[in-house]
C-alpha cells in the first residue's frame, strides 16, 4: 500500500504530530510505502532544526529526521504556510531576503501541489490534525 500523510499541527501543542509519526513509522516497518509526509498549517513547525525540548521529553523534530534518514522519507513543508510561520531554507532565504535559515535536515519546502499530487499518487491519504 502506498500512503500519503498530512500533518496539520505543530509539535508539542497537539498530539496530532505524535500520532502521525507513530502511524508513519508503523506503516514503514510493515513494509508499506509512504509516498510523502506533507506538513501544513502549523504543521510546518515540525521542520525547524532549532527545536530544543527538555531532555526528559521526546524530540519530535529529530524523530522525523531519523525516520527520514532510515527510510528515505519525503518530508515536505508547505511553502505558503512556512513563509507565514517563519520556516526558512536556503532558497527561501535568498528569495525573501532573510538573514538565516532554520529548516531541519531531510525536510524540504515546496508548494501545495505536492499535497494534491500525493493524494493522487497514494492509495490512501491519512490526515492528522486538531
Which residues participate in catalysis according to the annotation? Answer: 78
- With respect to another protein, which residue has the nearer C-beta, 12 or 49? 12
Helical segments of 6-59, H only: 16-29
Q: Which residues lie near another protein (CB under 8 A)? A: 1, 3, 6, 8, 15-16, 19, 22-23, 25-27, 29-30, 32, 40-41, 80-81, 111-113, 115-117, 119-120, 124-130
Nearer to another protein, 30 or 100 (CB): 30
How distant, in Å, are the alpha carbons of 27, 52, 75 from that of 87? 28, 16, 14
- Asked if residue 92 lies in contact with residue 79, where contact means CB atoms within 8 angstroms, the answer is yes
In the block, which residue shows the cell 530544543? 52
**Could you tell me the smallest distance in angstroms from the CB atom of residue 127 to another protein?**
4
User: Please, what is the minimum distance in Å from the beta carbon of residue 83 to another protein?
Assistant: 12
Pairing of the two strands 107-110 and 124-128 = unpaired
Amino acid at each position: 500500500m502506498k500512503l500519503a500523510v498530512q500533518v496539520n499541527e505543530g509539535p508539542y501543542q497537539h498530539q496530532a504530530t505524535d500520532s502521525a509519526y507513530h502511524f508513519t513509522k508503523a506503516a514503514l516497518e510493515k513494509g508499506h510505502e509512504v509516498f510523502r509526509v506533507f506538513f501544513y498549517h502549523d504543521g510546518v513547525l515540525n521542520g525547524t532544526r532549532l527545536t530544543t525540548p527538555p531532555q526528559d521529553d521526546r524530540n519530535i523534530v529529530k524523530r522525523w529526521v531519523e525516520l527520514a534518514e532510515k527510510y528515505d522519507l519525503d518530508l515536505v513543508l508547505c511553502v505558503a504556510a512556512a513563509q507565514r510561520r517563519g520556516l526558512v531554507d536556503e532558497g527561501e532565504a535568498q528569495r525573501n531576503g532573510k538573514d538565516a535559515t532554520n529548516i531541519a535536515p531531510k525536510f524540504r519546502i515546496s508548494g501545495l501541489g505536492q499535497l494534491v499530487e500525493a493524494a493522487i499518487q497514494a492509495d490512501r491519504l491519512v490526515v492528522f490534525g486538531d
